[in-house]
Amino acid sequence: MLVAEFEKKDKDPEIVEEGGQFFGRPLDFAMDKYNYYMCFKCQKPYFGGERACGAGGGDDYDPTELVCAGCSGGTAEVCPKHGTDFLEYKCRYCCSVACWFCFGTTHFCDPCHNRAGHNVPKPCPSVNEKELPPGTPCPLGCVHPENGQEFALGCGLCRNLQSF
């Protein structure tokens, strides 16, 4: 229920008001609103986005792509202080930090999430819908694979602390 609490949906009228569809049943609410998948690698369940987004992914998927954050870190090192709990990812389609995770496979920034299903990976450097002029350093400040691939940036807590 951590996701619903984080998103402040644990106080949704459907859960807390008598007569609500999920009154007194927050776990049922979460299972109705969110997607959970079994990680192909470690065989543990993981949060994979809102159910509304999962429907956009369709039923045609490769189960080997369903990999939890801890197993899909790619080149990111496991943080010695925070483990894999606060891994940040780049958007699959541009050089922005992702804030959405949908279909159990794809990290998006907000503008790219709003265009889900109509995205074309932009060349680096790019931010949201805009390609940046040639020679502009990547706004992520790191070397990453070509846009169109998943990539973990590392521990978000430690990355933010370094900026102070």
**pLDDT tens digits along 50-91:** 887 765 555 566 788 788 766 765 555 678 888 777 888 999
Phi, psi of 85 (to 5 degrees): -65, -30
Lowest mean pLDDT among 20-24, 51-55, 57-61, 129-133: 57-61
User: Under a CB-based contact definition with an 8 Å cutoff, are residues 54 and 71 in contact?
Assistant: no
Does residue 90 belong to any structural domain of this protein? yes
| pLDDT score at 128 | 81
Q: What is the pLDDT of residue 124?
A: 93
Catalytic, 99? Answer no
* Four-residue CA torsion sign, 132, 137, 139, 140: positive
Quote the tokens at residue 144: 């990453």
Per the DSSP assignment, residues forming a β-bridge with 37 are 46
**Chain segment 104-123, per-residue pLDDT in tens:** 788 889 899 888 778 889 99
Is 64 inside any structural domain?
no
Q: Which two tokens stand for residue 19?
A: 């007569």
Active site residue 155: no
The answer on pLDDT for 1 being more than 70 is no
Domain assignment present for residue 138? The answer is: yes
Res 32 pLDDT > 60:
yes
**Does 53 fall in a domain?**
no
Determine which one of 68, 79, 102, 109 is catalytic: 102
Residue 83: which domain range?
76-162
Give the whole-angstrom CA distance, residue 104 versus residue 117: 15
SS (H, E, C) 7-73: CCCCCCHHHHCCCCCCCCCHHHHHHHHEEEEECCCCCCEEEEEEHHHHHHHCCCCCHHHCCCCCCCC
Does the structure show a pLDDT above 90 at 19?
yes
Residue 104 lies in a domain: yes
- 44 within a domain of the structure (yes/no): no
Angle at 70 between CA 67 and CA 71, to 5 degrees: 45
Catalytic residue among 53, 91, 94, 95: 53
pTM over 0.85: no
* The predicted structure's pLDDT at residue 121: 92
The total of structural domains in the chain comes to 1
The answer to whether residue 12 scores a pLDDT higher than 90 is no
Has residue 131 been placed in a domain?
Answer: yes
